Amino acid sequence: MKYYWLAGLTAMVSAQATAALGPPGLSGEVSLLLGYAQQETNFDTDNAVKEAPLNSEADTESGVTLFPLGQFRYTFGAENNQLVYLGTSREDIATGLIAFEIGYQFETAHNSTMAFSVLPTIVDDETWQDPFVVNQARKETDVSGNALRFQYNNILDQGISLDLAIYDRDIDSEQSGTSIPGLTPSDLNQLQRDGDGIYSRLAWAVSTGETSTLQPELTINRFSADGDAMSMTRYGVGLTYLTKQGRHGYAISGEYALADFDEANPVFGKTQEDHEVGLNFAYEYDQFMDWENWGLNALAGYSVVDSNIDFYNETQLFLGVGLSYKF
């Protein structure tokens, strides 16, 4: 996904806390999804040649993919109050994040839980060495990043949750701007995309019925890049609605965010400012075809980035459907 390094990390916390994290021993779920993705972004490595003018939106690219998801959990302790896990959590998937996570969770007082986890790079993403090349093939390079995450859920049994993460981003071969005539070494330094960030999220789950929850949230993400023109602070507000009706479970979430960058971009002569809107929908039909432990899953996500620099405008659409098995 776009924010694999946690720039747009979102999560949901159930308002219905339980006395134990789950049954003792091994549990989890595995899923196989068939997905369709469509996007317009100048950082899509499926489209090697960008035609002039440089400051323009990208062409639309699309494709179909088949990919597995899942999480494995092991619950232990005298009161089944400790948990280790690895994989992708169902809560994160419902709000649009697909990231591999390894963590430890435990219960505290007041029906609260804390979790510490790491999100390592399993498979490197790809981007352009110099995204500003036009009328000729751009060269790819690997992008990697790791994150450390802390979650405090249902604080004091009030439905409030805190999510904090620190992360890094590393471009294997950073050459941004080297194709632009007239840029000075100082200008090129301003375009360096490597860096570190801090992400924070505060959410409050409010029960709207026996099986429904409404959750507003606030997020702040500070990314300090090696180049000031790539450093930014992102402020977001979101709202998630969760409900379960019999075998049917739904999660609908939306977010608006504003990203302000620190310094003027030397390629375009202005400071970047992005307005972002995202919508995500997740559906599960439990015991699909009356098969015990099986579920039918559907995911849909749509996001738009409207930047004051047309080069950074983006649109992304994702649709997925598949089956999951719980054990």
Instruction: Check which CATH number belongs to the domain holding 33 and give it.
Output: 2.40.160
pLDDT at site 85: 94
Domain count, the chain: 1
Is 83's pLDDT higher than 90?
A: yes
Average pLDDT value for residue range 140-149: 92
Q: Give the separation between CA 84 and CA 64, rounded to whole angstroms.
A: 33
Residue range 127-142, pLDDT digits in tens: 999 999 999 999 999 9
**7 in any annotated domain:** no
Q: What percent of the chain has pLDDT over 90?
A: 79
Task: Give the rounded percent of residues in the chain with a pLDDT score beyond 70.
Answer: 90
Residue 96 has pLDDT above 60, yes or no: no
Residue type, 44: D
Q: What is the pLDDT of residue 69?
A: 82
Q: Which residue range is the domain that position 149 belongs to?
A: 25-326
Q: Has residue 17 been placed in a domain?
A: no
Q: Is the pLDDT reported for residue 172 higher than 50?
A: yes
Lowest mean pLDDT, pick from 63-72, 124-133, 205-214: 63-72
In a domain, 290, yes or no: yes
Question: Is 20 domain-assigned?
Answer: no
Q: Taking 80 as the threshold, does the pLDDT of residue 35 lie above it? A: yes
More confident site: 105 or 16: 105
Alpha carbon distance 88, 30 (integer Å): 10
User: What is the rounded average pLDDT of the residues 279-286?
Assistant: 93
Region 242-260: mean pLDDT is 95
Cβ within 8 Å of residue 308, ≥6 positions away: 270, 272, 273, 274
Strand partners for 114 = 106, 152
- The whole-number pLDDT of residue 16 equals 34
The whole-angstrom separation of Cα 58 and Cα 165 is: 31
pLDDT of residue 1: 34
Instruction: Flag whether pLDDT at 68 surpasses 70.
Output: yes
Please check the confidence at residue 173 and state whether its pLDDT lies above 70.
yes
Task: Please give the model's pTM, rounded to 2 decimal places.
Answer: 0.88
Least confident of 121-125, 204-208, 252-256: 121-125
pLDDT the model gives residue 89: 65
Tell whether the model's pLDDT for residue 316 goes beyond 50: yes
Distance, in Å, from the CA atom of 154 to the CA atom of 111, rounded to the nearest integer, reads: 7
- Per-residue burial over 93-106, b if 16 or more Cβ lie within 10 Å, else e, is bbbbbbbbbebebe
Name the least confident of 4-18, 171-185, 223-237. 4-18
Res 30: pLDDT:
92
On the question of pLDDT at 124 being above 80, the answer is: no
| pLDDT at residue 314, as a whole number | 97
In this structure, is residue 4 part of a structural domain? no
| Alpha-carbon gap, residue 306 to 309, rounded angstroms | 8
Pairwise CA distance, residues 307 & 157, whole Å = 40
Residue 122 has pLDDT above 80, yes or no: no
